Amino acid sequence: MSRRKLVAGNWKMNGLGASLAEFERIRQAAAAVTGADALICPPATLIAAFAGKGLAVGGQDCHAKAAGAHTGDLSAEMLRDAGASAAILGHSERRADHGETDSQVRAKAEAARRAGLLAIICVGETLAQREAGEAVAVVEGQLAGSLPEGATAEGVVVAYEPVWAIGTGRAATPADVREIHAVIRKALSARFGAEGDKIRILYGGSVKPENAAEIFAVPDVDGALVGGASLTAAQFLPILQAAA
Residues that bind ligand PGA (CB under 6 A): 10, 161, 166-167, 204-207, 225-229
Q: Report, in angstroms and rounded to the nearest whole number, the Rg of the chain calculated over CA atoms.
A: 16
Q: Cα angle at 187 between 87 and 213, to 5 degrees?
A: 65
CB nearer to ligand PGA: give 199 or 239.
Answer: 239
57 and 42 Cβ atoms separated by less than 8 Å: yes
CB nearer to ligand PGA: give 75 or 206.
Answer: 206
236 and 230 Cβ atoms separated by less than 8 Å: yes
Query: Would strands 37-41 and 6-10 be described as parallel, antiparallel, or unpaired?
Result: parallel
- Residue 169 is given by DSSP the state S
Which of 77, 91, 125, 181 does the annotation list as catalytic?
91
Q: In terms of Cα–Cα distance, which of 61, 62, 41, 38 is closest to 50?
A: 41
Nearest approach in angstroms of CB 199 to ligand PGA is 18
Query: Which residue minimizes CB distance to ligand PGA?
Result: 227
DSSP strands (E only) in the chain: 6-10, 37-41, 56-59, 86-89, 118-123, 156-160, 200-204, 223-226
CB nearer to ligand PGA: give 170 or 186.
Answer: 170
CB nearer to ligand PGA: give 86 or 192.
Answer: 86
For residues 244 and 230, what is the distance between their CA atoms, to the nearest angstrom? 16
* Known active-site residue 161: yes
What number of other Cβ atoms are within 10 A of residue 108's Cβ? 27
CB nearer to ligand PGA: give 161 or 220.
Answer: 161
For residues 236 and 228, what is the distance between their CA atoms, to the nearest angstrom? 9
* Known active-site residue 77: no
Nearest approach in angstroms of CB 94 to ligand PGA is 10
Which of 93, 100, 125, 161 does the annotation list as catalytic?
161
Q: Which residues are known catalytic residues?
A: 91, 161
